[in-house]
Amino acid sequence: MEWYRCFRSKRKFETPQRKKDNLPPFLQANPDVCSAMQQYGKENLRELSIEMMVEFVHGKIIPLMIAEEIKVPVEEVRGDEETYDEAKRKILRQYGLTSICPSTVYKWMKLLGLLTPQGKSIIMLMGMRSLQQ
């Protein structure tokens, strides 16, 4: 009945505004990953695609995170596949992930402002406009 009293006094429903962080836990906990993804997107304006970003995440970001986790150089991390896979699973599990697939990277790119809702690169569109002027 509390909702009715509130409605009766103001003649409208009031919904409390909850602050929601738009970024998933992986990106919230790793702001350097966000900036690296945005920088990579800006550097590769013309050919930016989800596949390129997936390769960037799996080829650069994940190995660096694993190297920091187990405190060894990146070259040594890539050498031992078993250690690499176990450390990768451990890091991803911390953030509730089992893998980083293209659909996950697509959602991250949208949240970071690298894609429009139609899936086109915002950065690419901005680059095309500046070239036309």
The 10s digit of each residue's pLDDT in 24-41 is 899 999 999 999 999 998
* Position 59 in a domain: yes
Q: What angle do CA 25, 45, 34 make, to 5 degrees?
A: 15
- Between 28 and 122, name the one with better pLDDT: 28
Q: How many other CB atoms are there within 10 angstroms of residue 66's CB atom?
A: 21
Distance between CA 70 and CA 63 in Å, rounded? Answer: 11
What confidence score (pLDDT) does residue 40 get?
Answer: 94
* Position 124 in a domain: yes
* Position 14 in a domain: no
Q: How far is CA 131 from CA 90, 110, 121, 122, 126, in A?
A: 45, 24, 15, 14, 9
Residue ranges making up the domain that contains 76: 24-132
Name the domain count of the chain. Answer: 1
| Residue 73 token pair | 């150089």
